[in-house]
Amino acid sequence: MFVKICGITNEDDALVAVAMGADAIGFLLAPSSRQIAPVRAGDIAKRIPTSVLTVGVFRNESRDQVVRTVNRQGLSAAQLHGWESPEDTMWISERIPRVIKAFVAGSDEVRRANDWGTNPILVDAVKGGSGETWDWALASETPDDLSVMVAGGLRPSNVADAVRQVKPWGVDVSSGVERSPGQKDALAIRDFVANARAAAADFEA
């Protein structure tokens, strides 16, 4: 079970997420209460083990800027969380190590996610980053051959239910493991990771 802790704003939280078993950490480079400067994200990423994915999250940024930022700051992936076209997404994918395309649950786009050429994909609520939950049954509308990450309203108390229902490849959380916007809670991260992986063990065995 791949676990991404998103909305990282400082080095201490990044290192805690890694220590608690996160496979990836995410930096919000788009407008948000958790937005940080690309240079700051790059500085934090340099202190993270190479085995952990460092993901810059963009929303409707120009494709040139996405590629420039990821490569200049030494990030290992971009997550595209806007209305990026299949053509721009594939153009970006050819120029950086990895791309994760995000889709809105229940949308027409998520049903034809293969057109964007990324794997895994992420399925989120209508208002990405809002902490709102959605009908997890909609995850079944994704193409069968894609690895799916789910996000939106996840927290330690419900991530096991989401994992058992959706059987995703991975889960992504931001506000669900925070004390306040942009400030993570170490115990919440620990419980989130443990609960997600324990639930996944039921169907991965």
Catalytic residue among 64, 88, 124, 202: 124
Calculate ∠ Cα 173-179-182, nearest 5°.
Answer: 65
pLDDT score for 135: 86
Residue type, 137: A
Catalytic residue among 6, 12, 13, 43: 6
Mean pLDDT of 197-201: 95
pLDDT (tens digit, 9 = 90+) per residue, 173-193?
999 999 998 999 999 999 999
The single-letter DSSP state of residue 37 is -
| Token digits of residue 102 | 């995000």
Q: How many domains does the chain have?
A: 1
Instruction: Please state the pTM of the whole predicted model.
Output: 0.94
As to burial, measured by CB atoms within 10 angstroms (0-12 exposed, 13-18 middle, 19+ buried), residue 48 is: buried
Q: Is the dihedral of CA 73, 79, 82, 83 positive or negative?
A: positive
User: Contact, 184 vs 156, CB < 8 A?
Assistant: no
Concerning whether 115 is annotated as a catalytic residue, the answer is no
The domain that contains 145 carries what CATH number? 3.20.20.70
pLDDT (tens digit, 9 = 90+) per residue, 110-146?
999 999 999 999 999 866 555 667 788 888 899 999 9
Concerning whether 6 is annotated as a catalytic residue, the answer is yes
The range of the structural domain enclosing residue 108 comes to 2-204
pLDDT score for 141: 92
User: Contact, 27 vs 8, CB < 8 A?
Assistant: yes
